[in-house]
Structure 1
Amino acid sequence: MDIIKETVLDYVSKPSVNNAILIKGQWGSGKTFYWNNVLAPSIEDKLKDGKLEEKDVAVKYISLYGLDSIEGLQKEIFSQFINFKNAKEGFLKKHKRIKKGKLALNAAKFVLQGAGNYLNIGNGELKMDFNNLVNLKDIVICFDDLERTTIDIEKVLGYINTLVEHSGVKVILLAHEEEIELEKYKEIKEKIIGKTLLYELNVENVISQILISDLIENQILINDLERNKTKIIEVFEQSGSNNLRILIQSLGDIESIYNVAGEEIIQGLNDSIKDSLIIFTLALSFAVKTNQISTKLFESTSSSQDFDSQIIGAKMMERHKKNDGTYQLEPILEFSKNFLDRYDIERKFFKCSELLVCQARLDSEKIKGELNFILQIQDSKPSNIDLLFGLEEIPDNKVNEIVDDVLTQIENGQVSLSKYSYCLEIILMLIKEKIIQFDEQQVYEKFLKGIDSIRKNGSLTDSFQIYNNLSQSNEIKIKEINTLIQKTYEEMKSEHTYKKQFDFYRSAFKSETRTIFLQEFHRNTLQLPSNIISPDEFFNEGLVKFTNKELRQFNMSLRVRFKNFTNMTNDEKQWLNGLKTCANLFLQGKEEKKLSYLFIEETIKTIDELEVN
């Protein structure tokens, strides 16, 4: 039984009252939601079925937050009975409660003028007794945010008392009463407020109300939330916030992700994936908005695989710190333990959700890309590498088989370089614990071969998280592997940069790729290719084949790129001077005049100007 609802319905059903009702509760506890979704509809139904059946039932909601005068409050009440869109259609006929006296006609005239501020006419202000413009008898008004009003509390409650005793208004107040610290409030309250009811959030009831309200419209999400109701309650209670606003906002974020992804992708995802998305988004929202974790905690985490690797790293670091007496739970591990580990969810991280919750970025490309990727792989079995990183998933009789397969992949360079460090640490730990019987030196040599294979044949794309995924172990072999991983990464990075420069500047040699080169040249952060393409090769294979329009565009890009000659390295200066020399030699002795020569001369002048500046 809802005691608050029954008490309020009894109050509004009385022919007359001489006091107001106060419903108190903490900020964010859901008082406003409770009013909008439970009390207001119940009051309307009650009054329509009761003695007031033939009357104009009016149940209004007004927030006192931001109001700074009684007159402003009166205007707000009056405005509740005016629909500006229908003003020209005769709002007096449509609103039974607006009195048809002279003042009301003046007000109507004013509204129809369509003034921006409907309380000002010309240079003067229209003075009206708003209480006499509207018949307030038997209407119900909910005044919210009593503790946030800047109007003197004595005046507010005095005005509310006038509404109750003289205008026949039934008043329900919503407030976080503990925030009203004025002594005079306590004195006045006894005279004006008849009953004080404590609203305490019942999250199970609220979630049920949310699912049948219009807050969530996506029917697929409504079904998924219904299936996860118990887990949602647990996440909410575990957060310790008791703040309904965070819950509602988080559910809104999830609906945004569902809507952007589209029905085809969402319906294609397994329930276990959607459950994971819901729980992760809720958990992250509460952790961030209650300041339990930083919004930047997952900035460098690009995928669920990265998250899993970081968790493994944090667990390993936790083990080392416990051993040396400096134990302190890593933030990412603390988040996982406090919010995720208790739930049997298939996936513990969604980048699209993290971007929305932590950075307020509704990235449609990321949402569709990530969820579509999951859709393609969701039915595939976890790899042995994944099983090794989540040891608890490995049956006792499969440990040797899985480790052996992982070592084969390691040796052949088939595992991301970013996973080598923790992989070695886990395997060495299993050896030391005598769970597996492998020779440490042979294991170490397999890792050396694998890293060498990656250096020769691997891709840099899986290696950008290298420095975040190095074991903190003090074991000599692991430290040596870490050093080799970093060295290999830097070599691959250098080779990658070289190839990127090589490909970019050679795109100027072909007409089909030259447009992209010219569009990107002034924005490209790579240095001029002094050690990749000689000025002579660039001029003869590229520049001299440019159309006149392309020559002009290259010249303009050159100016934009180097507004100040001192921004260039010495190698770049020498390269530009070499390009200028090539151009001068090309033009030397040319008796025939061509328009293209004029644009090449412009490029020479640009280089001269850059050199002077």
Structure 2
Amino acid sequence: MLDNREKIIKSVKVYIDENMSDYAVMINGAWGSGKTYFVKNELIPELEQDKPVIYISLFGIKTIDDLVNVMSLHILNIYSNERAQKRANLNGNSSGQINSRNISSTSKVATTLMSLVSKGLKLVPKGEDTKAFVSDLQKNSIKFSHYVFIFDDFERSIIDKIELLGFFDELVEQNNAKVIIVCNEGKIANGRKENNNSSIQKENEESIDKRLVDDYTLYKEKVIGLTINYKADLSSVYERVLLKEANHDDAYRLLLQSKDDILRLFKITSSHNIRTLKFIFKRFKELRKEIKAAFKINKKDMTYFNVYVSAIMLNVITASLSYKGFGKNIVDILKDKDTIACFFSSEGLNDDVKNFDMTNYVRVTRFINEYIYTYSLDCMLLMEDIDRFIDEKINDTQVIANRVNDIFCMKDDKSAVQELLAVLDDIEKDRYCLGVYPRILSNLFILVELFSDGKQISIDKLKKSILANIEKRADEFIESNWYYFSSSNIEANEFNHQLYKTLKSMHNKARISRFIKDFNSVDDVVETLRKFVEIGSAAEKGKSLLSYVPVEIIVKRVMKASNNEIQAIHGILRHNYLNVNNIKDIRQGDLCMFRKWRDMLDQQKDTIDSQLKYFHICLLLDCIKDICDKLQ
């Protein structure tokens, strides 16, 4: 089955092969759909097999005279090449042979067009070919039917559309030329920008637009005999565009492998824009080169290069689609962050921040979005992001677990030892987060015992490295990550359990230190104390968080409190201890703290000068005594 492009080529060739035709052909398609790319790279090579093709963009051409000047230069160029071909043939020289083309029409050159062409040639230096060209033109030896004229960007031309259609009519009807007009008809009458004019003025403009459309439609019916709608098919042109932009380099290979994924992202935004596709290929190729240089100059582990570049490619694609398709300021999406996970939808990138592992979310970085938006690369942000990405991968517990597991499936012992040494080196340099160890210890111990050499690879060295690492990373401890593994390797299980107990103890000590620091530094003593004695907030069973704070600090804060704050503290203690029937069962561990608090407060109350504050402290002291009685 022929695709859209092949059908268009077939239809146009039927038109070109017609001996006599008095109409032009229009190829109509949306902006960015790849019309121009198709015309230049597929249609013209086919048509050139039969006739010389003159391709002209109407964009920027101001008058019909200017257009004829451009046509004249094209015709003169073809004429000069043909003369050179004839001279080469006469001299028996075929090395510089120009493709021969058949000339199949005998129409006269209209006087009007001949005079315009002659006028255009006044701008050209009078060389031998120019003089011969003018002579043949005057003898009617040069015929417009000899050429195929392709006029692109019809809707962008500032020449009046009716005047242009009249000129094309003269070419096709009076000179039997083959004319192909390439345009986006949907933009011909919709070029006026939005403004804040009055409703009456807008109605007038709409009325004018309607008349222009009606006039254009009327003249088009006379001049255009066939309109062909061009529909973009990114899938069919993807590889040709990629080859032209990337030319078989490393970027080309990744972009080719990712074709289906890239086209899926285009489909999400309903984009068929080949210019955006080219933009993506160019920007990614440039960035990949810069990223590779950054990895090498800064001596980064190249094993992370390909996966990093793949993540960057996804950012380039989604940012480009958002910027080119929706006009978004993609730099603003990141707000004050350098890296976020950004949702990608039919409206492009959205600025709600989520976790990186969620479906339809893309890792978006500031340096990429700035480069897409400004073409300026911030090398410092690039290096920061590379470091951040490598850290993320190093601390991806599943990736590391898979890496250790894969050693069992290596092709030979040498490869297995090499990879095991790499893992052990990462551990020695403390490159893994704390949560990795319970995932890898069982298999790691088996491998170390299997390949132990007593030096680089040994259980004792492994244990020593891990124990050193957990002291520095105790604050990363999450109890749920340290479930106990049942493995055939008893030593691994015992060491895993030892790490768990050590970390839990270290974590609790660190937690207590934070409690003391918080209680001693936070301004709002009432809310802090409330949080530390609430039921359900115990650090250990039978004790409140407050019990971890030295009583000296508690009493010092209370003695400095205002009367209103002392009264509030009194109410909090009564609510959480005296009003709870089974308080002895759940908070008996606080008894020692309250006894010390009672004794210390009783000693210091006589130092209070204010009678009102003395009154509130005495009430609080009575409450603490009652709590002691209830807990003992």
Give the TM-score, by structure 1 length. 0.49
> Between Structure 1 and Structure 2, whose CA radius of gyration is higher?
2
TM-score, normalising length from structure 2? 0.48
